[in-house]
Amino acid sequence: MNRIGHFWKVFLILLMILAGWGLAFAKRENVGDSQTGLDLTFEVEGNFARAEAPIEFQFPQDFGAHDDFQTEWWYYTGNLETGTGRRFGYQLTIFRRALLPPEKRFERPSEWAVEQVYLAHFAITDVQNDRFYADEKLARGSAGLAGAFGQPYFQVWLEDWRVVQIDGNRFQLNAKSDRADLVLFLTDLKGVVFQGEHGFSRKGEEIGNASYYISQTRLLTEGKMTIEGQSFDVKGWSWMDHEFSSAPLEDDLEGWDWFSLQLDDRTELMIYLLRQKTGGNSPSSSGTFVKATGEAVGLSHKDFQVEVLERWKSSRSGATYPSRWRIRVIPLRLELSIVPNLLDQELITEKSTRVTYWEGSVSVSGRSGQNPVSGVGYVEMTGYAKPFNLTPTP
């Protein structure tokens, strides 16, 4: 729920296991869900693959799953509008969590045998009507219920929520809930953006405290949205983040703020702040600026400033979130104002990850050098409803 400069989206899933399902920690844990009938076991200790150095990515296969890593996600967010200017935001996120490390896996006795579990969040922001629709799912990664692969073409799905590669740079996204339905076609105009050091994104000082992280920051989007039985033809921009890792969250962190911003001069900005329990942000906070040409420029925590200008308190969770920001990217002479298109875009995911977080559509205005600039984006904030406690207890 990036959603995580975005590696730290890992912990939307980890929190499900550490806190959300009330598990007893030992060397093994049982995970159950009464609605799906899942009865899963995973190893707390094990030799999962780790992100320790840059790798050579191969596409389309690296769009797919990397099952030897403990956690992985595919994050799609976007801002859309109708021909008359009615505005919407959307989020579709699919998470994968390994239940066993590679050395503990078994020959599958049946197609229902489970080594991976998939979870997903789907949300729509209706700006005009001040409405936010959110839904969630989970399923075993077996029997065709959920999965991801990269060859011969990329596809990730959880039941009927899915993204499928149509050809080299075109994708179809489908998601449907009781009140909202999306069928979108996404065209990648810039190609893959490698976050960090050619996709190797450091999140701390220790070896392996990193992720492999790629994005598609400029996805031309068109299709159809249906809300409460009313259908709209929509166009706009989407953003995709794909990340996989096995690293834990550092003990001194309580949450993160993540920004993905698409500006009308065809540039994009991603920034994530890893918030420390004692106040301030971790030096591992960083970002990426993508030029109109597609060239990515890495940003360290010293290159930008994020100032919170207003806050909003949720009546449902009691959490207080930032609700307006000013971002300065000093070496680029970029100054931006970010405002939520709807204050309440909070997800309370009791049926899947059991994490409460804010992820929503925002509007952007400001200056790039001497030139005015505007745009759209998404912001994700975690750890405001409850600070993270990722230390297992017996």
Q: Which domains does the chain have, with CATH numbers?
A: 10-382 (2.40.370.10)
Specify which residues 134 forms β-bridges with: 123
Half-sphere exposure for 128 (CA within 13 Å, toward CB): 9
Is residue 23 very low, low, confident or very high in pLDDT (cuts 50, 70, 90)? very low
Lowest-pLDDT range, 18-32, 170-184, 328-342?
18-32
pLDDT band at 105 (very low <50, low <70, confident <90, very high): low
The pLDDT confidence band at residue 56, using thresholds 50, 70 and 90, is: very high
Does residue 60 have a cis peptide bond before it, meaning omega lies within 30 degrees of 0? yes
Burial label for 233, CB within 10 Å (0-12, 13-18, 19+), is exposed
Proportion of the chain above pLDDT 90, given as a percent? 69
pLDDT (0 to 100) of residue 54: 92
Q: HSE, CB side, 13 Å, CA atoms: give it for residue 129.
A: 11
- Whether pLDDT at 257 is above 50: yes
Calpha distance 152→150 (Å, rounded): 6
The C-alpha atoms of residue 202 and residue 186 are separated, in whole angstroms, by 29
Higher pLDDT, 20 or 278: 278
Q: Report yes or no: 319 and 385 within 8 Å, Cβ to Cβ.
A: yes
Residue 32 has pLDDT above 60, yes or no: no
* Listed range (13-27, 221-235, 239-253) with the worst mean pLDDT: 13-27
How many CB atoms within 10 Å of residue 79? 25
H or E segment to which residue 152 belongs:
none
pLDDT at 285: 94
pLDDT for 110 equals 54
In this prediction, residues 20-40 reach a mean pLDDT of: 32
Residue 111 is predicted with a pLDDT of 57
**pLDDT of 333 higher than 60:** yes
Q: Which residue has the tokens 């918030």?
A: 275
Q: What is the DSSP string of 224-276?
A: EEEETTEEEEEEEEEEEEEEEE-PPPPTTEEEEEEEEEEETTS-EEEEEEEEE
Reported confidence tier of residue 74, pLDDT bands at 50, 70, 90: very high
Buried b (16+ CB within 10 A) or exposed e, 144-173: ebbbbebeebbbbbbeebbbebeeeeebeb
pLDDT band, very low/low/confident/very high, at 247 (cuts 50, 70, 90): confident
When computed from its CA atoms, the radius of gyration of the chain, rounded to whole angstroms, is 20
Provide the pLDDT for residue 104. Answer: 66
Look at residue 209 in the predicted model and tell me its pLDDT.
Answer: 77
pLDDT per position as a tens digit, 133-187: 999 999 988 788 999 999 999 999 999 999 999 999 999 999 999 999 999 999 9
pLDDT of residue 255: 87
CB–CB of 4/382 below 8 Å? yes
Beta-bridge partners for 117: 97, 140
pLDDT for 152 equals: 93
Percent of the chain with pLDDT over 70: 83
Express the helix, strand and coil content of the chain in percent, nearest 5 each.
Answer: 5, 55, 40
Mean pLDDT of 310-325: 97
Answer with the residue of higher pLDDT: 242 or 254. 242
Close Cβ partners of 222 (under 8 Å, ≥ 6 residues apart) = 184, 185, 233, 234, 235, 236
Mean pLDDT value across the chain: 85
Given pLDDT bands bounded at 50, 70 and 90, which one contains residue 107?
low
Looking at residue 324, its pLDDT comes to 98
Which tokens belong to 353?
């990850």
What's the rounded mean pLDDT across residues 264-278?
A: 95
Helix (H) or strand (E) holding 200: strand 200-202
Pairing of the two strands 334-340 and 155-158:
unpaired
Over residues 369-383, the pLDDT tens digits come to: 999 999 999 999 999
| Cα separations in angstroms, 393 against 13, 23, 38, 209 | 18, 10, 23, 22
Higher pLDDT, 275 or 5: 275
Confidence of residue 25 (pLDDT cuts 50, 70, 90): very low
Q: Is the pLDDT of residue 13 over 50?
A: no
* pLDDT tens by residue, 43-52: 445 688 988 8
Residue 8 pLDDT > 60: no
Residue 119's nearest CA partner among 133, 137, 144 is 137
